[in-house]
Each structure stands twice: as structure tokens, then as C-alpha cells.
Structure 1
């Protein structure tokens, strides 16, 4: 059923006149008559009683009028909600963030809520690997993880930070006093690293393999403070990304930057390469760009989405 014909019919009943309805709709009277005849043909019943210059609804016309009012109001609300969604005045967004990365997002969340208070934002925590699976399966629109992601996952990536890895050891570590260490300096060290579902650990194992070394892992934990505590107790050396250093109690311990290893803690957002990004998701990425900036070096961004206010496109 043509919504425009329904609108013409409702206006005609409201004014009880084809002429007055045509004036209100800024069309010709013949256009109104034609559209109403079309509506009557679709309904299979007479809708109006034409009496000179007046028009009154039949019993079927009264039903059409009442339902027509509801349909037109629903269409008005739909149009308004679409506009509000495009203008970021309504909607919801769920972003996946690993616990090891969430400390970076406090200023992002603050600015996003200030700028888009009507968007319902939910932060979903999980390991980077788990979030990659959720995004790849379409259960999560946008997630943050440690890059790179496997090329066969069909995921686009946008880096927002690249940080060095630090080594934390006991005060009497053989390398105490040095500000940087090559990866080879850890050849005989007992390592304290996150569990294997952390992307950093997987990259660390690969870096050792590329250097022709076998890492001697003494213990693994999903809790960074526990890794530092074990290092303080002399159980080995812990490896932490730089943003976490300020949060850990490393006073009195030996600390050095892991240099010349090619190993960086690069973090970024991921989404389905062939998927749709909502206005809210694009706005989130835009705010992250403003607050966190782009890494000065490292892998380029892939699948960069258009600005949040533009017409949403694929990918």
C-alpha cells in the first residue's frame, strides 16, 4: 500500500474536502483524487462518499482513516529515530576491551560520554584472542586487541598505540643499572609472562623463535601485578608493556627497556572487514583517534572507516 496515497486520504478526511486537502498537501486536486482512487482499488472497497465539494468516509473509510493515522505516526517516528541515529542522539554500542588495555581507555570513555551522552555504551572485557573470535563471528561490532591479528580472520585493524616492552627483575639482576636490553640478554633468564591467550606472549614466543632461542618460562599468570611480585621475589624476570609500568610497584627493582628486538606492544581496534560499522562505532573510533592518536611508527592502518557522520558503508 502506497504510504503517500494513505497520507492524501487522511488529509482529505481531515478536511472533508479534496480541494482543501490538495492545498494542505501542495498538490493539485486531480492528484489527490487519483491517489485515493488507487487506494480504493487496493482496498477493494469505496472509502469516500463524494457529495459535491465535500467528502465523507464510508464505514470502510473510517477504519482506513483510524489505521492510517497510526501508520503515518509510526512512519513519522521511524523517520525521527533514523535521523536521531544518524545524528548520534540515540543508539547503543558495545566495545570489547581486554583487561590489560582498559587503562588506556579512561579518557576515551570520558570524552565519548561527554560528546554522545545519548549513546548507551557498554564495555565488554575479555582476552584479546576471545574478543577477536567474537568480532570475527559477528557477536561484537568493535573490539580492541594487541596487533597483529591473523590475516585469515577477515578482520580490519586500526592501530592506536605502539609501546615498548620492559623487563623487570630483582635488584641484583645481572643487567641491573642498564636502561635497555637486547632480546639476547634474556637467553638464560627465567621469564615471567602472561598466559598464552595473551597476544603479547604469543608474539614473545615468536620473537624468541626468530632469534633462534628457546624462552625459559618459569611461570605464567593473567595478573600483571602477580608477575611483578614474583620478579620481586627473585623467581625470574617479568615482561610488561610500557603503559603498565606506571601502575606496577617497581621501586627498588631492576628495570630496562627491551630494545632492538622488533617486539612492540601494538594495540588497535578490530572489526569485520566486510561488515557494517554503525554510526556509534564510527564515532567511537573517531574519539579514540582524537584522544589516543595514531602510532608514530609500526604497521599502517587497514580498512580505515569513513567519518562517523557520513553515510554508512560496507567495511
Structure 2
């Protein structure tokens, strides 16, 4: 069994048929069918059960498929590593960032680019569940996001924890000039909520603030995108409760962030990657750069 056979088998499973796989591999169907049969003979097992108009992968086929995915990915990694050794640090770094952590990224990217100008960076922005899906499908190597509840499958580098802040329209602040607000004060305003996301507790934490004081928050709008939410705040639709890093400087003339009295809960931004797959040299250098930046702040 060699890497070519593993690639053929993985492509057959990925494409759902030998015909589609042959087209993908730019080869004729009969030789590909022969390669599958040869692999089954070599391993003394049926990998795919073929029917007249359908097929299904067997248990041993699924085992080989997982092995093929990991082996081919590791070979791709080592090939990239060798290429970077030959040509210097060069390649593509794909990272994801949630809107709640976006503010942390630009200065680190600038510093990293100054050191590694030949690295091409692809950034995917979305909510945490979207980024976890990209990680699971190896579309990105790293995700900068709020710490998920379930971290078992991830390697996690925690950054500085952040407290929650009240964000209100600047005109409303100028009417009262408060630097700290109580939960009772918050309840006097229409509240705009950052929507819930699977596996994350920020939404529930905010609601629990009010429950702990037997208060019913006056929620008038819910949105999963921080920038959209801040636009609504700046337009005086209501106030929001967000981590400090989510109050982006682009809105500094339209909103004001205030501390919340007697609220100690925090959220933890982090850099996460998949446990089972080794990071490339570029990704490791980027995480080092990020940690250095955080320490210096």
C-alpha cells in the first residue's frame, strides 16, 4: 500500500463514486476500479460494498479512510515544511477570527508580516461555531475566538481574560455622565443582545446577571454580529453588554463603554487548534508572535 493508493481511495470516498473520483483524478474509470480491487486484495478485506446502482463503505473502509486522511495531510505538511526550509519561511497561513476577538488581530498581523513578509495570510471571519467547523475541516489552522465550553479536542492558548462592559450611545452617556452602572440602571434602557452560539456561555452569562437580581431585561433586539450590534447602539436603538475588546475604535465617537457594578464574570479569548493535527512552522511562529504581543501589553 502506497500514498498513491491512499489518495485514490480517499478520493473515491470523498466523491461518492468511482466515476466522479476518476474525473477528479483525471484518469479513466477502469484503472481506478482496478486500484481499489488491488488494495482490497492486499489488505484482505472489502473496503466498499458495490451494488448495482449504489455502494457503501464498510467498517474497515472507514478505518482506512480516516488513516488516509491523516497520512495524506501529514505528508502535505512535511512537503510544505521541506519547501519552506529550501526557500525560507514561505507559504500560506489560514486563520479564523470571531468578531468578538477581531480587535486583537491587526497589530499582531502587522508585526508578524514585518518578520515574515513572504507569508500569505488568509483570514476567515465568522461566529465561533463557523470557525470550529473550519477547524474540523482543516480549512484553517488557528482560530482566535472566545474559549468554548468543550475544549477536549482542542489545543488551547488562553489570552488575557476580559470583563463585560455596558456600551451605550454617546448622547445617552452625556445626559448622565456615569462611569459605572448597576444592573438596575441597565434595566431602565432597551437592551440589544449578542445572540447565543452553540457551546458558548456569554449570552447565558448576561441573562444570568439579571436573573441573579430578580430583574427582567428589556431585550428589544438580538444579533450575532458585533459590528451590526454596535451600529444599532451608535444609532441610539439601545444599549449592549459586551466584552471590552468588542468595542471597536471605529465606533469610539458614537458609543461609550462603562463598567458594570458588582459583576465579576469574564470571558477568555484564546487561540485554538485541533489536537490531532500538527501545526505548520508558520502557524507555530504566528502563535509565538501573538503570545509575545499579549505579554508586552
User: 1:20-99, aligned counterparts within 5 Å?
Assistant: 82=82, 84-85=84-85, 89-99=89-99
TM normalised by structure 2 equals 0.59
Give, in whole Å, the separation in 2 of the partners of 1:193 and 1:120: 36
Query: Larger radius of gyration, structure 1 or 2?
Result: 1
Shift in Å at residue 153 of structure 1? 4.9
Sort the Cα spacing of 1:212 and 1:87 in 2 relative to 1 into closer, same or farther, 3 A: farther
Do structure 1's residue 284 and structure 2's residue 280 form an aligned pair?
A: no
Shift in Å at residue 180 of structure 1? 1.7
Do structure 1's residue 216 and structure 2's residue 218 form an aligned pair?
A: yes
**Higher helix share goes to which structure?**
2
Give, in whole Å, the separation in 1 of the partners of 2:236 and 2:89: 54
User: 1:154-165, aligned counterparts within 5 Å?
Assistant: 154-165=153-164
Moved more, 211-220 or 108-117: 211-220
Deviations 1:194-217 (A, max 9, x none): 232395435423544566655432
Shift in Å at residue 282 of structure 1? 0.8
Structure 1 residue aligned with 2:29: none
C-alpha RMSD of the superposition: 3.6
Paired residues of 1:92 and 1:119 also in contact (CA < 8 A): yes
Structure 1 residue aligned with 2:101: 101
Structure 2 residue aligned with 1:166: 165
Paired residues of 1:85 and 1:279 also in contact (CA < 8 A): no
TM normalised by structure 1 equals 0.56
Secondary structure of 1:101's aligned partner: helix
Structure 2 residue aligned with 1:123: 123
Sort the Cα spacing of 1:152 and 1:241 in 2 relative to 1 into closer, same or farther, 3 A: closer
Structure 2 residue aligned with 1:7: none
Give, in whole Å, the separation in 2 of the partners of 1:142 and 1:127: 14
Shift in Å at residue 106 of structure 1? 1.2
**What stretches of structure 2 of length at least 5 have no aligned partner?**
1-77
Shift in Å at residue 137 of structure 1? 4.7
Paired residues of 2:210 and 2:216 also in contact (CA < 8 A): yes
Aligned positions, number? 216
Sort the Cα spacing of 1:81 and 1:188 in 2 relative to 1 into closer, same or farther, 3 A: closer
Paired residues of 1:158 and 1:268 also in contact (CA < 8 A): yes
Shift in Å at residue 139 of structure 1? 3.9
